[in-house]
């Protein structure tokens, strides 16, 4: 596609429910990132996929968070048993190796 596509753009969920956020990177980009941004805060790194290498999961805040990338393309970030503190904008970015990363428009998650 022309850019990084994320869906849904907005998600409201009840506390305790599971949610899945999707990221479709730019075609041919080998690297894919997930970040979280709370209101007025900086980018918080969550997970990094690079080609066929094992993902860098060092930023995942708890075991309720997981992500996968199927076929080296689309990625899904799953949050289980959502909590109110999970409310944030979740941003996905993709890049070729060692070149600039491009961001999707984000998914705004609200846990009520």
Partner 1 sequence: QKEVEQNSRPLSVPEGAIASLNCTYSDRGSQSFFWYRQYSGKSPELIMSIYSNGDKEDGRFTAQLNKASQYVSLLIRDSQPSDSATYLCAVSTSGTYKYIFGTGTRLKVLA
Write the interaction track for partner 1 spanning residues 47-86; mark x where CB under 8 A is met and - where it is not: -x-x-----x------------------------------
Nearer to partner 1, 83 or 96 (CB): 96
Strands (E), the chain: 5-7, 10-13, 19-24, 31-37, 44-50, 65-69, 75-79, 88-95, 102-103, 107-111
Exactly one of 46, 60, 77, 91 binds partner 1 (CB under 8 A); that residue is 91
User: At a CB cut-off of 8 Å and minimum separation 6, what does 8 contact?
Assistant: 21, 107
Q: Does 38 bind partner 1 (CB under 8 A)?
A: no
* Residue 104 to residue 112: CA distance in whole angstroms: 24
- Minimum distance from residue 7 beta carbon to partner 1 (Å): 14
Q: Which residues bind partner 1 (CB under 8 A)?
A: 31, 33, 35, 41-43, 45, 48, 50, 56, 91, 93, 95, 97-106
């Amino acid at each position: 596609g022309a850019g990084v596509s994320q869906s849904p753009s907005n998600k409201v969920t009840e506390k305790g429910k599971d949610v899945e956020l999707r990221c479709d990177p730019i075609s041919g980009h080998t690297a894919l990132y997930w970040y979280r941004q709370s209101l007025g805060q900086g980018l918080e790194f969550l997970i990094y996929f690079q080609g066929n290498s094992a993902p860098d999961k060092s930023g995942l805040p708890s075991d309720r968070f997981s992500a996968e990338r199927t076929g080296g393309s689309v990625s899904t970030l799953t949050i289980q048993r959502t909590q109110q503190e999970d409310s944030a904008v979740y941003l996905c970015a993709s890049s070729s190796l060692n070149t600039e990363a491009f961001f999707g428009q984000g998914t705004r998650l609200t846990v009520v």
